[in-house]
Structure 1
C-alpha cells in the first residue's frame, strides 16, 4: 500500500518537473525569436513605405520641383517691374511716348508790327509724340488776344478793337539735356493761322437772369475783317522736371519765348461801312508762355 502511494507521488512529481521544463523551453524559444520577429515586422513596413513613394511617382501628382521660385524680397533675380519704360526711351508701348502741354502768357509786338497790333495774352495747348529722350514732335493750338492800336481804331471810327489769332502748328522740340532736372530746349514750326481784326462800340443791351432783367452796356462788334494764311515760329526755353514718387517723374514746368511771324496780307478796307482802315503785311509778335508739360 505504501509502495503504491510512493509510486503515485513520484509520478506526479515527474509530471510536474516535465511541465515546468516545457514551460521554460517555450519561454526561451520566444525570447530568442523576438529580434527576428521584429525584423520581420519592420521589413514589410519599410517595403510598403517604399512602394507608396514609388506609387506616388507613377501617379498624376504635381511635380513641385517644376514650380517657379519665389521672388527675392530685394528684387534680385529678375524682377517683374521695370520703370525704364516711363521715359519713352524703349518699351512701354505708344502711350509711354505721348507728351502733353498746357500754358499761357503774354505777347509783345515787334517794332515792325507795333503800328498795327499791341500787347495781349495767349493760351497754348498741345500734344505730341516723343521719338527718344531728345526729340519730340508737338501739335500745338494757340489762341492770341491782342489789342488794336488807337490810331487804327480812330481811322475806323470805333471806340475799341482787338486782334484774335488762332493757330494750329507742327513744332519739333529738341531737349539738350533731358536727363537733368533742369533742361534747355529749342523749338519752332510752321502751320495754319487765322487772324480776325474786330472793332467795337459800347451799346446798351437787355440782360436777364432767372430772377432779374435789366439793361447793361457791353462792347459789341460793329465791324471786322479777317485773313487765313500760313505762319512760322522759332524759339526756345527752359524746363524743370519734378522728381515724382520714385524719382521718375515726367511732369515739368516750362517757360519759353518765341518769335512768331504770321504771313498776313496788307489790307485796306472799310469794315462793315466803317472808315477806311489800312493794316500792313505780316504780323510779328513775341509770345512768352509759362506752363506744364507731361
Structure 2
C-alpha cells in the first residue's frame, strides 16, 4: 500500500510538470503568433507606402520595412505624374545641315582647292598629220584650282614628241641635195618633231566613287611646233683633269618652227588606292588640233619643209598621278 501511495504521488508530480510545460509553450506560441500578425498587418497597411517620394527603411522594432513618412505627410496630385522628370531630360538633339569643311585649303564640300598632276605616255598622230609624223612619247605637268568636287580648271604644260616617217626623210634628202648640191654631206640625215604647249583646261568630274572616278576635259591654248633635221657629228669633250674624249651625236642641221592656237578635249578615269587618300592615278586620252598656217613652198625663203606649217592633229594617251 505504501508503494502504491508513493507511485501515485510521483505520477501526480510528473503530470503537474508536464501540464505546466505544455501551458507555457501554448502561451509562448500565442505571443509569437500575435507579434507576427502585427508585423504582417503593418506590412499590408496602405499608409506604409507613399508613392510620392517614400524611402524604404527599417521599422523601429527592427523586424520589417516601413515606407511611412509620418501622419502629417500629404500626397500632391502631381506626385504621381512625370512632369517633374521633364526638367531632368537632356535637351533635344540639334539638327545639322550638310557639313562645311571650308578653309584656306579646302572647299565647303571637303575637296582640295589646289590641284596638281604629272604624267607621261605616248602621242599618236591622226588624219593628215600621219603624212608628216609618227608615234612617239609625251610628258605632262599641271597645276590648277578646284571650285568643288565636280568642277576645276588646270593650267597645263605638255611636251609631245614625234618621229618622222622614212618617206619624209627620203624626200627631204632629195630637196637638200638639190638645194645645196655637193657642198653638204647628207649621210645619216634624220629628223624629229615636237610640240610644246601651254593650255587652260576646264575639267568636270561626272562620276566619283570611293575608288574610281571619271571626268571630261576640254582646253585651249598656245602651241609651238618645231621640226629639226639632224646629221651625225663628231665632237670632243674634255673633263676637269684635262682628259679629252671623242663622241658621235646627231647635230641639228636645219630647223623649222610654227606658232598657232589649238584646242583639245577628251575623257579620263581615276583610281584611288584608298578612299581616304588624297592622291589618285589617272589615265586619259584627248584629241588635239593645232591651227598651223600652211606656208607655200619657197626656196628663196628657205622654207624647205612646208610640212611643219601644216595643221597638226594627234591623240595623246597619258598615265599619271593627281593630287
The residue number in structure 2 matching 1:127 is 143
Deviation (angstroms), 1:151: 2.1
> Aligned pair count?
209
The residue number in structure 2 matching 1:288 is 317
Q: Distance in 2 between matches of 1:264 and 1:271?
A: 21
The residue number in structure 1 matching 2:233 is 203
- TM-score for the superposition, normalised by structure 2: 0.59
Distance 1:148 1:223, change over 3 A: same
Partner SS state of residue 155, structure 1: helix
Per-residue Cα deviation, 1:53-103 (whole angstroms, up to 9, x for no partner): xxxxxxxxxxxxxxxxxxxxxxxx9xxxx99459944188xx940010000
Max Rg structure:
2
1:106 aligns with 2:161: no
Q: Distance in 1 between matches of 2:228 and 2:130?
A: 17
Deviation (angstroms), 1:281: 2.2
CA contact (8 A) 1:88 1:131 kept: no
CA contact (8 A) 1:173 1:187 kept: yes
Q: What is the aligned counterpart of 1:90 among 93, 96, 108? A: 108
Distance 1:278 1:229, change over 3 A: closer
Map 1:1-16 onto structure 2 (within 5 A): none
CA contact (8 A) 1:229 1:262 kept: yes
Partner SS state of residue 207, structure 2: coil
Distance 1:163 1:272, change over 3 A: farther
- Quick check: which one's strand share is greater? 1
CA contact (8 A) 2:100 2:108 kept: no
Q: Distance in 2 between matches of 1:254 and 1:185?
A: 10
Partner SS state of residue 143, structure 1: strand
The residue number in structure 1 matching 2:219 is 189
Q: Distance in 2 between matches of 1:248 and 1:83?
A: 18
CA contact (8 A) 2:142 2:157 kept: yes
Distance 1:89 1:179, change over 3 A: farther
Map 1:179-258 onto structure 2 (within 5 A): 179-211=209-241, 212-243=243-274, 247-258=275-286
Deviation (angstroms), 1:262: 1.3
Map 1:8-27 onto structure 2 (within 5 A): none
Deviation (angstroms), 1:208: 2.2
Q: Distance in 2 between matches of 1:137 and 1:293?
A: 13
Distance 1:239 1:123, change over 3 A: same
The residue number in structure 2 matching 1:156 is 172
Deviation (angstroms), 1:138: 0.4
1:139 aligns with 2:168: no
CA contact (8 A) 1:224 1:271 kept: no
User: How well do the aligned residues superpose, as a CA RMSD in angstroms?
Assistant: 2.8
Structure 2: runs of 5 or more not aligned: 1-93, 174-185
Deviation (angstroms), 1:236: 0.7
Structure 1: runs of 5 or more not aligned: 1-76
